[in-house]
Amino acid sequence: MFELFDAVLAARLQFAFTIAFHIIFPALSIGLAWYLMVLQGLWLKTGRDIYRRVWRYWIKIFAIIFGMGVVSGIVMSYQIGTNWSVFSDKTGPILGPLMGYEVLTAFFLEAGFLGVMLFGSNRVGRKLHFFATIMVAIGTMISGFWILAVNSWMQTPAGFAINEAGQFIATDWWQVVFNPSFPYRFVHMMLAAFLTTAFLVAGVSAWHVLRDRSNSAAKLMFSMSMWMALLVAPIQIIAGDFHGLNTLKHQPMKIAAMEGHFESQNGAPLILFGWPDMEQKEVHAEIAVPKLGSIILTHEVDGHIQGLDAFPEEDWPNVPMVFWSFRIMVAIGFAMVLVGLWSAWARFRGRLYEAVWLQRLAVLMAPSGTLAILAGWITTEVGRQPYVVYGLLRTADAVSPLDAPAVNASLLAFVVVYFMVFGAGIYYLLQLFKHKPSMNEKDIQRGQARRAAGITPIQGLQKDSAEEGH
């Protein structure tokens, strides 16, 4: 049973599986940390207790998501060595320092202030506590900065030379970090993190508003998330378009796969749906808008578009996967814009909290950001295959000299453990989502025994109720 996949495929599946789980948690950590920072800032500024209640509601969820992000992230940093040792040897001198800076500028910052953020509200003053939250929020974004610089360099390598040992070495660090695709990928991913969080918050709060229209905390969350949908979703479409044009410039083959263009042509159509067939080199059952592909990509009606036929066949990625994952991402993006516009209309009419069908749609779309992120990453990662460093190092040449049974066994172990542990984690998250945001939302609870002894809850309740009057 441990010979199921060859060593390369097993290693690829393991990376794909572990990173697909991992990416969900940091994406939500980024969004939630910033959301918590905004809530705490509003609480400090206005003194309205409702902001603190909403903060307390999401801090528990944040703690679980952050924890799962940490443990699944450690796996990623070691996996590049265990399963991809040739890649490690060759890219270490150039990508290693970037990851080193991620640890030094982001991970330590987040971890150092997370304790104060989660458990320190009674130990430090309000401003210092707020400062800790700001540090965690900034840390999550710095982390995104470095890791996306790493990924982007692998897509569009720049500022490097190759030494006699076959290693990539830096000739210009600025070009390494700010490589051609990095700014676009960074903006696109940060917006994705914010939108994913906004739609999670929207879904959870809409569910509570649907059950109890007088729940002021749920209404506040819903309103805030709908503003995010209205303002950020359209920006994301524009950012995504710029990112696509950047990819066209640097990885035209990936665009050809995304668009399902097998033949190079002038005035290429925009293929909406169909089934790309790599053997026959055509798209079956296609529904297409004539000329629109050229208009979008070149801004000319008869603009020339390179098809996959412009590239050697052994360098093609898996076209159906790239084609379909791209469409899923785009469809979700437009659905998010639609929700934003709908909410603006409802708000304009003063019926945001009565818009039952909007709220039901929001509940349905709670995981939509997560799905869009996964689909988008499948597009860009499968789209640069068969290379791990684009055009320079093939994935098949980058693996560790390990026997297939070793990699298959670890793949199996990761699958079992991840479904078990993160399955439980998602179950606990759902329980927290189900929990109604209440008047006396409690802080993170630790130590049942003391709670049973009744030391603080009564006082806490009175204090909260008193502050509710403001």
Partner 1 sequence: MDYVLIWAGLMAFAVFAYVVLDGFDLGIALLFPFIREQQDKANAMNSIAPFWDGNETWLVLGGGGLYATFPLAFAIIMPALYVPLVLMLLALIFRGVAFEFRWRSRSESGRKRWDLGFTLGSLLAALAQGIALGALVQGIEVADRAYAGGWWDWLTPFSLITGIAVVIGYALLGACWLIYKTEHRLQRLCRQAAFQLTLALGFMIAVVSVWMLFKQDPYMRRWFDYPNYLYLSPVPVITVVLGLYLLKAIKSGRELAPFLTTIALFALSYFGLCISFYPQIVPPSISIWQAASPESSLKFLLVGSAILIPTILVYTGYSYWVFRGKVNSEDQYH
In the region spanning residues 416 to 435, those forming contacts with partner 1, defined by CB under 8 A, are: 417, 421, 424-425, 428, 431-432
- To the nearest whole angstrom, how small is the minimum distance from the Cβ of residue 395 to partner 1? 16
Choose, by CB under 8 A, the member of 73, 269, 333, 376 that binds partner 1: 73
What is the C-alpha to C-alpha distance for residues 324 and 330, in angstroms, rounded to an integer?
10
Which of 1, 45, 78, 284: binder of partner 1 (CB under 8 A)? 78
- What's the longest Cα–Cα distance across the chain? 77
> What letter would DSSP give residue 465?
H
Output the smallest distance, CB 200 to partner 1, in A.
Answer: 18
Report strand pairing: 265-266 vs 304-305. Answer: antiparallel
For residue 340, give Cα distances in angstroms to 194, 227, 352.
Answer: 14, 7, 11
How many residues lie near partner 1 (CB under 8 A)?
90
Measure Cα distances from 296 to 188, 244, 264, 270, 289 in Å: 18, 10, 16, 8, 11
Can residue 406 be called a binding residue for partner 1 (CB under 8 A)? yes
The answer to the question of residue 151 lying near partner 1 (CB under 8 A) is no
- Rounded Cα gap, residues 267 and 291, in angstroms: 5
Q: Which of residues 24-63 bind partner 1 (CB under 8 A)?
A: 63
Interacting positions 106-145 with partner 1 (CB under 8 A): 107-116, 118-120, 122-124
Asked whether position 381 contacts partner 1 by CB under 8 A, the answer is no
User: Does the footprint of partner 1 cover residue 175 (CB under 8 A)?
Assistant: no
Does 94 interact with partner 1 (rule: CB under 8 A)?
yes
Nearer to partner 1, 75 or 245 (CB): 75
Residue 272 binds to partner 1 (criterion: CB under 8 A):
no
Q: Which stretch binds partner 1 (CB under 8 A): 23-31, 77-85, 188-196, 263-271?
A: 77-85
Structural contact between residues 397 and 90, judged by C-beta atoms closer than 8 angstroms: no
Phi first, then psi: what are they for 277, rounded to 5°?
A: -115, 110
Q: For the chain, percent helix, then strand, then coil, each to nearest 5?
A: 70, 5, 20
Contact between 241 and partner 1 (CB under 8 A)? no
Min dist. Cβ of residue 243 to partner 1 (A): 27
Q: Is 346 in the site for partner 1 (CB under 8 A)?
A: no
Of residues 55, 73, 65, 61, the one with CA closest to residue 19: 73
